[in-house]
Amino acid sequence: MAFCSFSKDNDNSYTIIENKFITKYLPEADGFAVKVYLYGLFLCENTDTDFGVASMAEVLKTTEEKIKEAFAFWEDYDLVAILSKEPFTVQYLPVRSAVGKPKKVRYEQYTDFNKELQRKLQKVGKFVSAGDYIKYMRFLEENDIQPQAFLLIAEYCINKQGEAVSPSYIFNKAKKLIRGGCSTYEQVEKELSSYNAHEGDLLAIFNTLSLTTRTPDETDYALYAKWTEKLGFAKDGVLAAAKKLKRGSMNSLDLTLDELYAKGKTEAKEIESYLADRDLLTKLTFRIVRKLGVKVQNAAPYVDEYVEKWYSYGFEESSLLDIALYCLKTDRGDFGAMHEQVKSLFKDGVVSTEGVKAFLKEKNDELKLFTKIQALCGGLRKSVSNLSLIGTWREWKFNDEMILEAAKRSATGSNPIPYMNKILSAWKQDGVYEVKDIPSAPTGTTATGASPRYVNPNVEAANAKTDRERYYAQLREKAISNAEKYLAKANGNSRFKAIGTQLSKMEFELAKAEMFEPEKLPALEEKKLALITERRNILKSLGIDEAQLTPQFHCPHCQDTGFMKNGSACSCYTPKN
C-alpha cells in the first residue's frame, strides 16, 4: 500500500480539498509544502501500490528529506500524522478537526535576509531549499537575535565548514552565542572577532599536540580563554606546556596547565624548566619503582608525595636507587618505608653520595650477618628492630664470630633474638669478647645452651614471660590477620562497602528516632534488616562466612590475651618443651 492514507474518519470515496485548508492553512505555507500536501492527498485516493516517499520525491523532482520536512510542517498543524519514520508513513487527518497553530512567520519581512543567506551559501556551492528557508525564518522568530547578527554567524560557520556546513551547525552556533548574551550585530561581531583572533593560536597548539585533523570549536576557545584570561598564561607559555606533552588532547593540556598554575609557573621559561625537572623526576620514580619491586601505573602522586621531597633534600639519583634496593632487601619495599629511611638519613646529615654509600655498606654488612643468623636460628624477620640490634652488638665491641656463637646458643629458643641479646649482654658484663674465653657449659645447661653463669634464673623467668607473651601475640595476630584478609576481600565489592557505610549511619538514625520520632522506627528497622540480608547474600556469593569478618580467637575464654576478665592467667597456655 502507499505510504499516504486517510484516517478512518475520512470519506475517501473521492478526492476533495476543503475550503478551510485553502482559506486557513494554504496562506501559511510556501508553494512546495502545498504541492507535497496536495500530491499526498491524491495518493491517499488513487494509489494502492507500494508508492513510497522515494517515488514521490522522484515525481516532484526533489529529495526524500525535503518531502519529510514538508510533512513535518503539516504535522504541526494537525493536518497529518507521521506514523513511522522508517518506513516513512503518513496519515492524513480531517481538516475540520485540525487545531494545531504553529507560529505564523511573516515571510515578507525576511526577503532581504533570504537573498543574503542564499548568496553566502552559494559561495561554497550550497543552496537554500524552501524547507530550509522556513527553518531559518522560524529560528529568527523564536529567538531573540537580529537577522544581520544571524547572517554574521552564518558567514562565520560557512568559512569554518565550507561545503560541509549545515543548518543545524549554524543553529547550534547561534544558540550558544545567544545563551552567552550575544544577540545584536555588534555583540556577535565582537565575540566572533575574538574567535578569529585566537584561531591561529589554537591551530599552533593543535599542531604541537599533533591534532592536525582538528579545527577549533567553541570548547577549544573556552579553554583558551580560561588559560589566557583567567589563569594568566601567555601564548608562548601555553605552547611550552604543549611541547612537553608532544602528543595529547586539549583536556590533558588543561590538566597540565592547572598543575602549572597551582605551582605558580606561568612564564614560558619557568614552565620549560619545571616540566623538564618533572620529566626527570618521573623517570627517576619509575626506576625507584623497579628497585622497590612495586607496581605503579601513574607516577605523579609518588613524585608529589615522595620523590620531589627527596630530591629537594639533596639526594642524588644513584643514592636514592641504592636506598630503594636496601629497603627491598630489608622487607620494606614500599614508598612509605623508604620515605622513613630517607628522612632518617636527612636528619642525621647523611645526604652526599659518599655518605649514603658508607651508610649502606655498613647496613649491607649487617644484613649479610643477619642472613647467617637466620640460617642458624630459622625464620627470623628482617625487621628494623632486629637489624638495629646488630649495630648495637657491634657497638658493644663484639665481632661477627661472637655474635654467631650467641646465635648458635639461642637457636633452640622460641624467640632467639632476645636470647642472643641477653647472652651477649652477660658476656659484655663479664668482659668476654673472644670465643676461646667462653667457659664450657656445665651439666645444668639451660634450654638456650648457655651456662647458668650467663643465663641466671631471673633471665630464665624473663625468657618464660617473653615466650608466653609471644605465644599469645602470635595467636592474636593470626586471628586478626585472617579477619582483615576476609574483610578486605568483602570490601572489594563496592556494594558491600556501601552497605557498611549505610548501616553505620543508620545506627545514629535509629537512636535519634527512638528518642524523638518513635513512629519512624518500624520503617528504619525494616530498612536495616533489608540491608543486612543483602549484605549476607553478597558475602555468600563471595564464599565468605560472616563470622570470618571478625577475629576467630583460639581461646574463647581469654580471647588469646592469656588473661581472664578477673585478671587471672588463662589455662590455655601450652609452652614448648
The pLDDT mean for the chain works out to: 82
- Spatial strand order of the sheet with 80-85 comes to 4-6, 88-92, 80-85
Length of the chain: 577
Residue pair 242/205 in contact by the 8 Å Cβ criterion: yes
> Radius of gyration over alpha carbons of the chain, in Å?
43
The C-alpha cell 606546556 sits at 241
Residue 5 confidence (pLDDT): 59
How crowded is the C-beta side of 73, counted as CA atoms within 13 Å?
A: 27
Residue 5: its H or E element:
strand 4-6
Q: What is the pLDDT along the chain (577 residues), one digit of tens a residue?
A: 456 655 545 555 566 788 888 888 888 787 888 899 999 888 887 765 677 888 889 989 999 888 998 888 888 788 888 888 888 888 888 887 766 655 555 666 788 888 898 898 888 888 888 778 888 888 888 788 898 999 988 888 888 778 888 888 899 889 988 888 888 988 888 888 766 667 777 788 888 888 877 777 768 778 888 888 888 888 888 888 888 776 778 888 888 888 888 888 888 888 888 888 888 888 999 999 888 888 888 888 888 889 989 988 899 999 999 999 888 888 788 899 899 989 989 998 999 999 999 988 888 888 888 888 888 887 677 777 788 888 888 889 999 888 888 888 887 766 788 888 888 988 988 899 998 888 765 433 443 444 433 444 545 565 666 677 777 778 888 888 888 888 888 888 989 888 888 887 787 788 777 777 888 888 888 998 999 999 999 999 989 998 888 888 888 888 888 887 777 788 887 765 4
* Cα distance between residue 310 and residue 306, in whole Å: 6
Residue with cell 584561531: 199
Instruction: Please tell me the predicted confidence (pLDDT) of residue 459.
Output: 52
pLDDT recorded at residue 576: 55
Q: Which three-class secondary structure state does DSSP give residue 388?
A: helix
Query: Do the bridges between strand 80-85 and strand 88-92 make them parallel or antiparallel, or are there none, so unpaired?
Result: antiparallel
Q: Which of 160, 161, 163, 116 is nearest to 136 (CA)?
A: 116
CB atoms within 10 A of CB 268: 18
Element containing residue 89 per DSSP (H, E): strand 88-92
Distance from C-alpha of 555 to C-alpha of 469, rounded to nearest angstrom = 15
Burial of 570 (0-12, 13-18, 19+ CB in 10 A): middle
Closest CA to 217 of 228, 206, 227, 208: 206
> Could you tell me which of 168, 178, 170 has the C-alpha nearest to residue 142?
178
Residue entry with cell 565548514: 161
Phi, psi (degrees; rounded to nearest 5) at 97: -95, -5
Q: What is the pLDDT of residue 357?
A: 92
Neighbouring-strand partners of residue 4: 90
Burial of 316 (0-12, 13-18, 19+ CB in 10 A): middle
Q: pTM of this prediction?
A: 0.42
Q: Which residue has the cell 524552501?
A: 130
| Euclidean distance between CA atoms 544 and 175, whole angstroms | 57
Closest alpha carbon to 251 in 234, 272, 226, 276: 226
Report the C-alpha gap between 73 and 82 in whole angstroms. Answer: 11
* Residue 83, H or E segment: strand 80-85
Most distant pair of Cα atoms in the chain: their distance: 132
- pLDDT, residue 1, reads 46
Q: Which position has the grid cell 615522595?
A: 306
Helix axes 185-208, 147-161, angle to 10 degrees: 20
Q: What pLDDT shows up at residue 101?
A: 57
Task: State which amino acid sits at residue 146.
Answer: Q
Report DSSP state, residue 85. Answer: E
- What pLDDT score does 8 carry? 47
pLDDT at 44: 82
In angstroms, the Cα distances linking 144 to 11, 147, 177 are 44, 10, 11
Check if the beta carbon of residue 92 is closer than 8 Å to that of residue 4.
Answer: yes
Q: CA 174, CA 191: separation in Å to the nearest integer?
A: 12
- 288 CB-near residues (< 8 Å, 6+ apart): 307, 320, 321, 324, 335, 338
308 contact partners, CB below 8 Å, separation of at least 6: 281
Q: Can you tell me the distance from the alpha carbon of 53 to that of 68, in angstroms, rounded to the nearest whole number?
A: 8
Q: Which amino acid is at 21?
A: F
Q: How far is CA 223 from CA 4, 110, 217, in A?
A: 50, 37, 10
CA gap 272, 238 in Å, rounded: 10
218-225 and 185-208 helices, crossing angle to 10°: 90
> What is the pLDDT at residue 534?
92
8 A C-beta contact, residue 143 and residue 105: no
Cα angle value 294/296/298 (rounded, 5°) = 165
